[in-house]
Amino acid sequence: MTHSLHRSTVLEMGRPDGAPREPRDYVVMIMACQGVNEEGASEGLRRGMEILLAHDPVNLSDGESSIFSGATPEVLSEAIRDTSYVAAVYADPESLVDALKDLAAEDAGPSVVVTGDPGELEPLLARAGLSAHTINLSLGQAGTGPLPPEGPVRDLALMCGHGLVAPAYIRRIADRIAAGTQSPDAGAEELAALCTCGIFNVPLAARLLEGAGGDVR
Which residues have C-beta within 8 Å of that of residue 67, sequence separation ≥ 6?
59, 60, 61, 73, 76, 198
Task: Report residue 108: phi and psi, to 5°.
Answer: -80, -10
pLDDT in tens, 77-117: 999 998 899 999 999 999 999 999 999 999 877 889 999 88
CATH 3.30.70 residue window(s) in the chain: 2-127
Residue-level pLDDT at 181: 95
Residue-level pLDDT at 108: 78
pLDDT in tens, 49-84: 999 999 999 999 998 999 999 999 999 999 999 889
CA distance 206 to 208: 5
Q: Considering only 7-11, 95-99, 115-119, 210-214, which range has the smallest mean pLDDT?
A: 7-11
Confidence class of residue 212 from pLDDT cuts 50, 70 and 90?
Answer: low
CATH code of 2-127, in short, is 3.30.70
pLDDT in tens, 107-163: 877 889 999 888 889 999 999 999 988 888 877 777 777 766 778 898 899 899 888
Confidence class of residue 215 from pLDDT cuts 50, 70 and 90?
Answer: low
Contact of 27 with 179, CB cutoff 8 Å: no
Residue-level pLDDT at 6: 77
CA distance 134 to 119: 14
pLDDT in tens, 29-40: 999 887 787 888
Residue-level pLDDT at 11: 45
Which residues have C-beta within 8 Å of that of residue 196, sequence separation ≥ 6?
61, 63, 64, 65, 66, 69, 162, 164
| Whole-number Cα distances in Å, 31 to 47, 80, 82, 112, 142 | 12, 11, 9, 7, 29
CA distance 20 to 25: 9
